[in-house]
Amino acid sequence: MHNFKSIRFLLFFTASAMFLAACTPKNVTTDEQAASDQTVYAESFGPKSADESLDPELEADPQSDNSSLTEAEQTVLNSRFGLLFDLEPHESKEVEQYLKYFTHKARRTFERWLKRSEPYLPHVRKTLTRYGLPQDLVLLPFTESGYNPKAYSWAGAGGMWQFMPFTGRKYGLKVNWWIDERRDPYKSTEAAAKYLKELYARFGDWYLALAAYNAGEGKISRALKKTNTKDFFELCENNRKLSRRSRLRKETQHYVPKFIAISKIFQNLDMLGFEPVRWNQNKDTVAVAIPGGTDLLALARAGKMSWREFHELNPAFRRQVSPPDFKATAHLPVDKADKMIAYLANPSSRPYAGYVRYLVRGGDSWWRISRKFGVPISVLKKVNNTRTNILRPGHHVMVPGRGSSKAIASSGTKSVPTSGRYKVRRGDSWWTISRKFGVSVSRLKAANNRRGNTLRIGQQVNIPKNGKTSSAYASTSTKKRALAAKKGNYIVKQGDSLWSISKRYRMSVSTLKSANGLGSNSLKPGMKLFIPDHSKAATRTAAKKAENAKTAQLVRYKVRRGDTLSKIARRFGVRISDLRRWNGLNRKGTIYTGQRIKVYIR
C-alpha cells in the first residue's frame, strides 16, 4: 500500500511538471514565430491613457444616490413633451434613479459631457436628419461614451458611438494597426446612423432598437422569441424566465432607462440649473483625402501645429504615419489648411518627421526591432519595402512613430537632391528614395529596369521625368507661369489665398498651382492667375459673388420661442433657402429655442 502511494505520488509529480512546462512561455527566436502573434497584437484595442478611458459614471450603479428629487427635478421626471424629443417616454424606477444620479452625484461629470459634446452635436444632428432618424438619438453618445471620441472600453469597443471592431468594419469603418475610424467622430456618426436605421427597420420599436445597439440584434431577437414578448420593458420583466446564457445583462436592462433620463435632463437644462448647450461650437475644419504613407507629424508641423493639436482633430490615427495602402481622411483647420495641403503636394520638403530612423546593430533582427518599438514585423517590412529576413549592421530601418515624444524622428529634415540622377547613400531604400522625389516605387524601379529590392551604396538611380528634379521643374514651371500671365482670367485681390480661390472654383490647390506654374503658396494682389475651364464671364460672376459675400455682415441670431425660418427670413429681409444653406439645414431640418443661427445681412 505504501509502495502504491509512492508510485501514485511519483506519477502525479511527473504529470504536474509536464503541465507546468507546457504552460511556460517559450523563448521566441525567429521572425516566423513572432509573426504568429502579430494578428493578435494588431487587434488589441483598449485605453492606453486617461483621455481614452470611459468615465466610471457610465457604469456606476445609480442606486448609490439616496437623496430625494427636488420639485423641479420631479417636474422634469413627469414631463412628457419637448421640442427635441419625439419618442414617447416610459416611466420606470430606473429612469428616476438615473435622473437623480446625473443631476446630483454625477452632476459635474454630466456638465463635462455637455461641454465635450458641443463640437460634435451639430454634425450628429444633421446626419440623423439626413437619414430620417429621430433627433433624440443625438443623445445616444452620452449613454455610450459621454461623447468621448477617443474612448475605448475594456472589451475593445471604440469611439463616441462605441462600435466593436467587427460591427465597425461591417459599416465601412477601417479598424487596424494604423487607423481606427471608430474614433473619427464624422465617419463613425455616418456608420451609427446606418446601423440604427437598420435596427429600427428590424424591430419596429426604438426601445428595442436601442437595446439591440447595446447587446446585439441577435441576442434581443432570441430573447423576444423565447419570452414571446414584443416590448422592451415587458422583456425585462420576463428576463428571469430565460436561461442564464440568454438573459439580458444588467447593463442592457438599464440602457434604455439611462437614455430616457438623459433625454429628460437635456431638454430641461435651464430648469435643472445646467448651462445651456452652445450649438455653434462645431470645429471649423475641412476633410482632406491624404495619400497612403503620409508623414502626419510633418503634415502637422507644416500647419504649425503640435502633434497633440493635430491628433485632437484626428483621433482616428493610431500612428504618426497614415496607412500605406489606402487614402485616409484628415480633418485640417480651415485657417491652416492652405499650408498643409501645400505640404501634401510636396511631402519631400519635410521628410520622416513621423518616423524613427533606427540604426541596425549586431544581433538585431526584425523580431527584436518589432518588440523594441511595438510595431508588427509585416508593417516594418512593408514600410521598408523588403521581404527578406536578413538585416545588416550599419543599415537603417524606418519605423513609424506612435505619437509619443520617444517616437519623434532623430533624423531631422534633409535637403532634397536636385539632379536627374541620385547617388545611393547608406540607409537608402527604394521606398525612401521614392518619398524624396515624390514618385511611386514601381515607377522608380521601372525607370531603372529593376525588379528586386537590392541597392548598393554609391549606385546611381535614375529619377523618372515626373520626379522633382530642379532643372525639369524650373523650365516647366517658368513656361506655365508665362502662359498663365498671358491667358490669366482672374486677378488676385487683397486677402486672397490659393485655398480660398481653389474652393471658390471647386478645384484642388495642387491643380491651381500646376496650372499656373507656382512653386510656392505666396500670392500678390494684382497677379494674374489662369483658372482652368472658366471663361472671363464666369470669372467675373464668381468674383462678384465673392465680393458680395465679403461685404455681407454676419449676425448670429439666437432663436426665440415661437420663431420659424419664415419669421426670421422676413425679419432680416433674406430668403428661407439662404437661411437653410447658411446653417446646413435641409427641408426637414428644424430650429430650436436657444439655437444660434447664421444670418448674412448685406
Measured between alpha carbons, how far is 153 from 305 in angstroms, rounded to an integer? Answer: 29
The answer to whether 393 and 360 have CB atoms below 8 angstroms apart is yes
The answer on pLDDT for 589 being more than 70 is: no
Of 496-510, 530-544, 573-587, the range with the lowest mean pLDDT is 530-544
Phi, psi angles (nearest 5°) of residue 503: -70, -35
Phi, psi angles (nearest 5°) of residue 317: -75, 125
Which tops the pLDDT comparison, 154 or 316? 316
What is the arithmetic mean of pLDDT over 397-414?
A: 49
pLDDT band at 265 (very low <50, low <70, confident <90, very high): very high
Phi, psi angles (nearest 5°) of residue 382: -65, -45
Q: What is the dihedral of CA 312, 313, 318, 324, to 10 degrees?
A: -150
Q: Provide the grid cell at 110.
A: 454630466
pLDDT in the model for residue 175: 94
The answer on pLDDT for 412 being more than 70 is: no
The answer on pLDDT for 347 being more than 70 is: no
pLDDT band at 185 (very low <50, low <70, confident <90, very high): very high
State the DSSP code for 564: -
State the DSSP code for 181: G
Helix (H, G, I), strand (E, B) or coil at 163: strand
The answer on pLDDT for 189 being more than 80 is: yes
Q: Provide the grid cell at 274.
A: 445646467
pTM of the model: 0.59
pLDDT in the model for residue 523: 77
Interhelix angle 470-487/509-516, nearest 10 degrees = 90
pLDDT in the model for residue 527: 79
The answer on pLDDT for 242 being more than 50 is: yes
The answer on pLDDT for 245 being more than 70 is: yes
204 CB neighbour count, 10 Å cutoff: 10
Give residues with Cβ within 8 angstroms of 82, minimum separation 6: 263, 267, 268
Q: Which residues of 38-50 are buried (b: 16+ CB within 10 A; e: fewer)?
A: eeeebeebeeeee
What mean pLDDT value characterizes the chain? Answer: 78
**Backbone φ/ψ region at 204: left (φ over 0), alpha (ψ -120 to 50), beta:** left
For residue 227, how far is the Cα from the chain centroid?
A: 40
Segments of the chain assigned to CATH 1.10.530.10: 50-266
- What fold does the segment set 50-266 form as a domain? Lysozyme (1.10.530)
The answer on pLDDT for 178 being more than 70 is: yes
pLDDT band at 328 (very low <50, low <70, confident <90, very high): very high
The answer on pLDDT for 473 being more than 70 is: no
Which amino acid is it at 440?
A: S
pLDDT in the model for residue 460: 79
What is the arithmetic mean of pLDDT over 368-380?
A: 84
The answer on pLDDT for 420 being more than 50 is: yes
Give the pLDDT confidence of 16-72 residue by residue, as tens digits: 544 444 443 333 333 333 333 333 334 557 777 788 889 999 988 887 667 788 888
List the catalytic residues. 144
- Percentage of the chain surpassing pLDDT 70? 76
pLDDT in the model for residue 141: 97
pLDDT in the model for residue 353: 62
Q: Provide the grid cell at 150.
A: 477617443
Give the pLDDT confidence of 540-562 residue by residue, as tens digits: 554 455 445 445 667 778 887 77
Of 111-125, 274-288, 509-523, the range with the lowest mean pLDDT is 509-523
What is the residue whose three cell numbers read 502626419?
296
How, if at all, do strands 460-462 and 421-423 pair? antiparallel
Say if domain 470-550 classifies as CATH 3.30.2310.20: no
Say if domain 283-410 classifies as CATH 3.10.350.10: yes
Phi, psi angles (nearest 5°) of residue 209: -65, -40
Segments of the chain assigned to CATH 3.10.350.10: 283-410, 470-550, 552-601
Which tops the pLDDT comparison, 155 or 517? 155
The answer to whether 407 and 324 have CB atoms below 8 angstroms apart is no
Residue 261's nearest CA partner among 93, 80, 95 is 95
Question: What is the CATH code for 552-601?
Answer: 3.10.350.10
Helix (H, G, I), strand (E, B) or coil at 451: coil
Q: What is the DSSP string of 198-233?
A: HHHHHHS-HHHHHHHHHH-HHHHHHHHHHHT--SHH
Q: Provide the grid cell at 288.
A: 482632406
Radius of gyration of the chain (CA): 30
Of 88-102, 121-135, 478-492, the range with the lowest mean pLDDT is 478-492
CA 321-444-399 angle, to 5 degrees, is 25
pLDDT in the model for residue 351: 53
Which tops the pLDDT comparison, 384 or 365? 365
Q: Provide the grid cell at 134.
A: 429621430
Which H helix or E strand runs over 179?
none
Across the strands, what pairs with 180? 175
Residue 347's nearest CA partner among 176, 514, 510 is 510
pLDDT in the model for residue 407: 36
